[in-house]
Structure formats: C-alpha cells, structure tokens
Structure 1
Amino acid sequence: MSSRIPGFRHLDVGERRRAVAEQAGTDLATLDGLGADAFGTEQAAAMIENAIGVFPVPVGVATNVVVDGREVLVPMATEEASVVAAASNGARMTRALGGFTTSATAPVMQVQIQLVDVPDPRAARLRLLEHADELVALADEQDPRLVQVGGGVRGLQVRLVDGAHQTYVVLHLAVDVRDAMGANAVNTMAEALAGRVAQIGGGRVVLRILTNLADQRLVRARAVLRAEDVGGEQVVEDMLHGYELARVDPYRAATHNKGIMNGISAVVLATGNDTRAVEAGAHAYAAVAHPPYGSLSTYERDGDGHLVATLEVPMPVGLVGGATRVHPSARAALSVLGVSSAAELGAIITAVGLAQNIAAVRALAADGIQRGHMSLHAKNIAASAGATGDEVAAVVDRLVAEGAFRQDRAEEILADLRAGSTG
C-alpha cells in the first residue's frame, strides 16, 4: 500500500472511502462504521449516563504517513479546519528521508495509594518497602489474565510528599498493562491493596487512583527533513528560532504543544481512546520533563545539515476495553490503521503529533499560520452563510482571492452568485 494518494482531497467522500479501503486492505463495508448513522442514541445510552443524543465529529484521513518503514493512512476525528491537511503536509515533508522512526518504553501505568495520619512517615515508608513482595503478589492476584499475557506489576516505590499540615506516604505501583489503556486494571489493584497498606503503614488510606502522568509509558518519534522540503535554508533557520522560543517560554510552549495535541488527540479520539488522559499526561510531562513548562518536541541540525525533529510523550492508549471495541467508528478507524498492538497504535499517534508540529512550525516560520488555516476555514464560513453544493467552492474561491474571511462577506458573495444564476 501507499499512504501517498495524489489528489485525495479533490475526491468526493465516497471516492475517498474506496481509496482508503483499497490502500488499507480493509473491507469497504467496515468503513460504514464512520457513517453518520453508525452510532445511535441507544448505543450512546449504553456508554454514558443521562444520554439524550450524539454529537458527530468529522473524521478525515491523514495521508503521506510512513512510520517505521510502513505506509499508514491515519483516521483523525476533529472539528478544527486545517488539522488533517497539516498532518498530511508535515508527513509529506519527511518522506524523502524515510518518514518517522519510533521507539517506546514498556506499557507501564502507575497507580497511587495515599496514606494519611501516619505518625512515623519515614519508618512507614521502610515498612511498606519491606513488604514489597507481599504487596506485589497481592496486586497481581487481582488480574491473573494480565499476568498470563505477560503483564503485571513491575515495581513498587514509596514517596513522602509534604502537604500543608502533614507528610503523606504515597505508594506507587508500576504495572505493565500490555494492550490496555490500563486505568481499570491498576485502580482495581489499588483498591485491593488499600487495607493492607493502611495496616502496614499505620495510617488511613484516602486516595487510591491511577496517575495520568504516565512518565513510564513513553513513545518517541523522530524525523529528518531536507531544507528543500521545508522551503529552504532560511525557513529551517526560522523554524529553529521558533522552536527555541517554545523551549524557553511557557507562553509560546503552550500553543506549540497544543499544536502537537491537535494531531495526537484527533487520532486518539478516532480510535476510541481517552483524549483527556492523553492530554493531561502530555501537558504534565511538559512541566516535569521540561520545567517550568516547555516544548514537548525538539528541533536541531544533524551533521549533514538536515533538520531533525523529535517528540517524546506519554502515550496511554489501548486496543482492549473502553470504546475501542464498542464504538463502530473506532473499530473502523483501527481497521484502516491495521494495528495489532497498543505499541503500534502509540507509535502512529506520536508520529502524527510530530507531523502536525512540523507543519505548524514550518507555517509560522514561512507564511504565517493564518494563510493556510483561514483558506481551509473558508469552507466553514461559506457553509455558515448558507452556501450548498457547488456554491461552497465558488464562495471559498472568492473569499481566498480577496483575503476576506468573514461571514458577512460570504453572504454578500452568495447573494451575488444566486442573483447571477437567476438573472
């Protein structure tokens, strides 16, 4: 297959589906799961409380993506214009030198058990460590299936955290959750351990909950770009300047990282994973790994003068449990991706985040972000003005030519078009 599909954006929706199904090697009927009627109110009511309906989000496909030598078409669920186009464009720039290369840690999630009212917190810490083997065994007993497939507890540590009025004893379990996101597994373990932890530590357990700062479950992506593929030496130099500001300035870093998450969250959502968990972990990691808060990605030149972009983020996503197997759209997205493990999924998601960032940094360094973004947003403006069918393209062309991306101007152009067609 190839993720390079020239003219893909000019196809209609049906033609795009056929092209995706053919290239991804999936049944065209599977992509019906991405249809507007695939997910109804009955399914919604089975997933959340007090359901009254559904809120459809557009799903697009990022093209040009190569991850670890494999061509990938990547479904992305997002309401924001230019996100899918930017990811596709960023990925295209990396193709000449091999696309994205990734690596990852084991899929380890952590859960915390907070012990309060401990008279001797330092001694309590040691007592808990002395009983580490017992506590680990008790935790693994809660999920024998996870242990059977190669997962389970990988470590136990105890931290002393100074609060306003006392020192808390906080026990961490690190658990390899395999192909699951892991929240349910680790929370169940914490609940089972709470009583014994309180007994050993000599205090009272309050919180027993996972942490979304998944800094032991990291995925890394790297891409090398030629200067000619991003617009020349001056663009490369300005991209480096733009990155440097994001590295040292939290105000720039917040928007820089939001751009990364435009790509990451869109794929996380499309595959039925927890966008809030991934977002929380990424931004917390930006503060912990790059204090006080800095860029999640890096940019530098290699020995050949090429631009090297890298990204390292926590990536707590799974293929087991949650909406990934319940939601028909998530099943369709996973079919297009052709992944068989959470590790593969995490690698693709991280690569798309870096592709998104490359496109954004390049746009800022060259033309400015508004030119491309507003050209794509013009479709929304035309539709809001009431344009339908062929009218949309005609209104968009006029808005782009004039550089006037306003609804009032779109309404005027639409009125002129309709007056001309009836005159």
Structure 2
Amino acid sequence: MTSTSRISGFRNLSIDERRERAVAAAGLEPHRLDVLSPDRGLSLDQADHMVENVIGVLGVPVGLATNFVVDGRDVLVPMATEEPSVVAAASNLARMTREHGGFVTSSTAPLMQAQVQVVDVVDPEGARMRLLAAASELIELANAQDPALVAFGGGVRDISVRVIPSSRQTYVVLHLIVDVRDAMGANAVNTMAEAIAPRVAEIAGGRTLLRILTNKADLRITRVSAVFDRELLGGVEVVENMVDAAEFAVVDPYRAATHNKGIMNGITAVVLATGNDTRAVEAGAHSHAIGLDGRYTSMSRFEKDADGHLVGTLELPMPVGLVGGATKVHPVAQANVALLGATTADELAAVILAVGLAQNAAAVRALATEGIQRGHMSLHARNVAVSAGAAKEEVDAVVSRMIEAKAVRAEYAEQVLAEMRTPSGGVR
C-alpha cells in the first residue's frame, strides 16, 4: 500500500531517484521498476508472441502522477502518454482535492454483454418470447463454457432480447449479460456467444450471424466525484469561469469533443500503462457521452458546493481488468499495476476515472485562466529543443529563449543553439 502519493519535488529528481522514491512509497522491492528501462522492458521475443508480423516495439514515456487519494487510499499512478503536460496537470489538480478527501468512487457489478444476431426470422416478436422462455437453458449452456469464471463468482446473470427493424430486415438480437469479475471479459463473453449460437438459431427459427461482445459497456459503470479547493484553484472568479467553461461542453457538441478528449488524455494514459484495451475503453466512453436525446455531450459535470469549492463528477463505462491479456504478459504493465497497487478491476477502474476527472479539471482551469497554450507550450518547447539537437545541459536555456521570443519552432531552436555554441556564446 502506498504510504503517501504526495512526493514534494518529484519532478526535480533524476529518473533513478524517482524510481527509488516510488518503490519506497509503494512498498515494492527496490528493482521492481527496472523493466521500465527500454533495454529491460518488452523484448522482441515477448512481442512476437503477443501480435503477428512483429518487427519491433514502440517506446512510450511512462510518467508517474502523484498526489492522488482515491477512496481513502494514496496511490501513485503510472501514465503512458506522449503528450506534454498531461502527467503534471493531473498531479497538480489531484493535489487540490487532498484536503477535501480526494476522489470518491462507486461502481456497478462488472457486467459485460455479448450480442447474438439472428437473421431470417419469420416471427421476430414470437422468437423474442421463445428465447426469453428458454433463458435458463441458454444461461446454463453459456456458463458451461467457463467453469473457472463461475467458480470465482462470475458467469451469466441474465439474457435480454431485442427486436431491431432495419432497411434490410428485422433482426432478433440476444444479449448475454455476464459478470466477468476481474477480467476485461471480451474472450469470455465471445466464447459464450459462439457456444449458444446454434441453439439460439434453432429456438428463434432463423440463422445466427454476428456473435460478439459490445463495447457499449453501459452495465459496467464507474463513478467518481471530487471537491477541488476554491483557493488553490485561484479563487471565486476562477471557479465561476470553470463552471461556465464546463457548461459550454454540456450544451455544445463541438466543444464537448475537445473537452472529452481532455478526459481521455488521462484515462487512456492509465489504461495503456496497465496493459488494458484503450480502444474498448474509448469506444465505451464516447458512446456513453451520447445522451437520451441522441446528442453528444460532456462526459463530466462541474458545479459549486455551498462553500464555493468546485465539485467535479464523472461517470463512464470502464471495462478494464487485471486477469488475462497484455496485463499478464507485458512486463512493464505488470510493474505498473504493482506500483499502482490495484488488486481488483474495480480498484483499477476507480483510479482511472479519478485521473480522467483530474486531467479534465486541469484543462478546464487552464482554459478558463491563462489559456491552454501557456503551460502546454512550455513543455512542448522541451521536445522542440531536444529535436533540434540540444544537449541535456542546453535544453533549459533554449526553452527559455523560445518562450521569451514566443517562437516555439524547430528553426528558431536551431538558431538559438547556433548562437549559444559560437566561441563568444555559451549557455545563457
């Protein structure tokens, strides 16, 4: 268990020092994070067993978000992202929740659904009734495919049947509703759907076509809320501006798309770091952002409490797991899960939602105050300086010159480097 996620001056430490502080705070063995080094992480042989036609591996920076308290537990959160400012911003806003209890979460049961599509049905409504009447038989058949899941307390909880008209014909679609426990669940529910398909076709009097899970995981919901301190945010006016900025995303889908992208900056970074399926999570999140009126809207909500502090809430499907998939194969994912300290899929989902809300609050605050570019560009400038050829000891000076000139561009960085390296120059 993490002793504290509040590590002062973490960004000023060397990489080795950060690892030492992280493993000490998380109570891990000293060398547990060695696999985060490029030469110690995912090997080519391991990659060759994960996907086909392997020609190499891609490195993505893994940063550590600090300051998070989730359901009373201090957590250090590994985030895999190439975008500057994301880790720092999430850490900073998490700090502003600590004296108000951090992030509080709740969740539903880990229910995933598979769909069995039946075509060429003469009497769709009658077929629906026959399938519902055979629910016990179909559930028993599906559960027989995964006795281990059932032994762990999971398995099929129910079925539902929908009749869906289309321009081609009317489809009968059976949903298997499965408690997948600590797995993401795709393999389990897909196997069950395949197994029951012949019997479903026989009962419905048609032909089964698609047999696959849906990534609209609207029965597997995680919720998070947090109070962001008014004074730490910048005062009453900043809170008012943040509420109006967030409301803009609620009422306008053009703003919502970018607002929600900011949420996913945080969510996807943790999902990727822990070896989970980023595409499944993103598909579920964005489909959930479509309201009952069919309009795309903000995933989050912000309002003021009685004391004028900012209250943020976020509710999304979060189909992640700790069993199977890359989480159990990728050595870096395993190290990141150990560092995070999550022992169940629910705990992992809770942390992921907390990071999404913190990142969202950070972006809204930046937009409502100095604008997004100020903080983002200072970090982006470091990438520009390095790509222009700046050595480690030259980076800060090049960044300073670019920001001062408001010219964060590769050609200007090269010009600054040339001036610094002339005999009369030097690092300024």
| From 21, 42, 49, the counterpart of 1:19 | 21
Q: CA deviation at 1:302?
A: 2.0
Q: Is 1:351 equivalent to 2:354 in the alignment?
A: yes
Cα distance, 1:90 vs structure 2: 1.6
1:54 matched to 2:57? The reply is: yes
Task: Identify which of 28, 31, 34 aligns with 2:33.
Answer: 31
Q: CA RMSD in A?
A: 1.2
1:290-369 equivalence runs, <5 A: 291-369=294-372
Tell me, in whole angstroms, the C-alpha distance in 1 between the residues paired with 2:363 and 2:321.
28
Partner of residue 260, structure 1: 263
SS of match in other structure, 1:241: helix
Within-5 A mapping of 1:61-72: 61-72=64-75
Aligned to 2:209: 206
Task: Look up the equivalent residue of 2:414 and give its one-letter code.
Answer: E
Change (3 A) 1:290 1:265: farther
Give the partner amino acid of 1:18.
Answer: E
Matches within 5 A, 1:8-407: 8-37=10-39, 38-288=41-291, 291-407=294-410
| Alpha-carbon shift at residue 155 of structure 1 (Å) | 1.3
> Residue type of the partner of 1:29?
H
Measured against aligned partners, the alpha-carbon deviations of 1:124-144 in whole angstroms (never above 9, x if no partner) come to: 000000101110111111111
Aligned partner letter, 1:190: A
Q: 1:114–1:169: 8 Å Cα contact kept in structure 2?
A: yes
Q: Distance in 2 between matches of 1:169 and 1:411?
A: 63
**What 5-or-longer segments of structure 1 have no aligned partner?**
none
Name the CA distance, whole Å, in 1 between partners of 2:9 and 2:401.
22
The C-alpha deviation readout for 1:74-103, integer Å capped at 9, x for no partner, is: 000001111111111121121121110000
Give, as a single letter, the amino acid of the residue that structure 2 aligns with 1:91: A
SS in 2 for 1:21: helix
SS at 1:348 equivalent: helix
User: Within 1, Cα distance between the matches of 2:101 and 2:380?
Assistant: 31
Q: Which runs of 5+ in 2 are unaligned?
A: none
| C-alpha distance in 2 between matches for 1:220 and 1:192 | 33
Identify if the C-alpha distance between structure 1 residues 30 and 161 changes in structure 2 by more than 3 Å, giving closer, same or farther. Answer: same
Letter of the 2:37 partner, please give it.
Answer: G
Contact 1:90 1:357 in 2 (8 A): no
Structure 2 SS opposite 1:30 = coil
Rounded Cα–Cα distance in structure 1 between residues aligned with 2:370 and 2:59: 32
Q: Secondary structure at the match of 2:33?
A: helix
Number of residue-to-residue matches in the alignment? 423
Report the counterpart of residue 7 of structure 2 in structure 1: 5
Q: What amino acid is aligned across from residue 11 of structure 2 in structure 1?
A: R
Q: Deviations over 1:317-360 (max 9, x none)?
A: 00000011111100110110111111100000000000000100
Maintained 8 Å contact 1:151/1:177: yes
- Normalised to the residue count of structure 1, the TM-score between the two structures is 0.98
Counterpart of 2:316, as a letter, is V
TM-score, normalised on structure 2?
0.97
8 Å Cα contact 1:33/1:331 also seen in 2: no
Kindly provide the amino acid, as one letter, of the partner of residue 35 in structure 2. Answer: G
Cα–Cα, structure 1 residues 290 and 275, in superposed 2: closer, same or farther, change >3 Å?
farther
Q: Deviations over 1:254-309 (max 9, x none)?
A: 11101000000000000000000000100011014673100000011223332110
Percentage identity across paired residues of the two chains: 64
| 1:420 CA drift (Å) | 4.5
Give, in angstroms, the shift of residue 225 of structure 1: 1.9
